[in-house]
Structure 1
Amino acid sequence: MEPTSVIAIYVLFWVMAAFIVLPIGIRNHHESGEKMVRGQADGAPVNFRPLRVLLLTTLLATAAFGLFYLNYANGWITLDDIDFFNSRERMR
């Protein structure tokens, strides 16, 4: 696999992991019982910690990409394993 492909695929894993990690542990003012600032949105988070989100996202993305790369290198699950409708056979 080319280095640019590795980087591009890792970035895709990182972005997907960010969307998974972002809502974890976030509380709004109603849930935490704190007073809202005038003009603030109802769902605005009280305890957003961007460094924690970056760390968790990087850990999750690295673990998922590691499994992806190991599967790519060892061929544990191939396209033939997940082709339930025999579409590759029909394309020939």
Structure 2
Amino acid sequence: MGFVSWLAIYFIIWWVVLFAVLPFGVRSQEEAGDRIEPGSMPGAPSRPLMLRKVFATTVVAAVVTAAVYWVITYSGLTLDDIPMPVGFTSESYS
């Protein structure tokens, strides 16, 4: 696979990891005891800490992408080795 393919895989993994990391450490305005801003929900985060989460997402996504790269490149595992449900074969896409 080329560089652009790996960049696309990293991008997809990055978004999946971001949505997994977003809820970590979030405290609502109500839980934190902050003044609830008019027009906002009491459950809205008081400090979302997005920069920290983006950094953690970038690091975790890089590690996961490196693991995927290793599995595909050095273990010899291909998509044909993964069992598919009945009716889904690689020949049906040709």
Contact 2:80–2:90 under 8 Å retained in 1:
no
| Structure with greater contact order relative to length (CA < 8 Å, sep ≥ 6) | 1
After TM superposition, the score normalised by the length of structure 2 is: 0.80
Two-structure CA RMSD over aligned residues (Å): 2.2
Letter in 2 for 1:41: M
Query: Unaligned regions of 5+ residues in structure 2, if any?
Result: none
Identity of aligned residues (%): 32
Instruction: Give the corresponding residue for 1:2.
Output: 2
Written as runs of structure 1 = structure 2, the 5 A alignment for 1:53-68 is 53-68=53-68
Spell out, residue by residue over 1:29-51, the C-alpha distance to the aligned partner (whole angstroms, 9 max, x if none).
12212221111122211111121
Q: TM-score by structure 1 length?
A: 0.81
The corresponding residue for 2:47 is: 47
Q: Distance in 2 between matches of 1:31 and 1:76?
A: 50
Gaps of 5+ in 1: none
Shift in Å at residue 79 of structure 1? 3.7
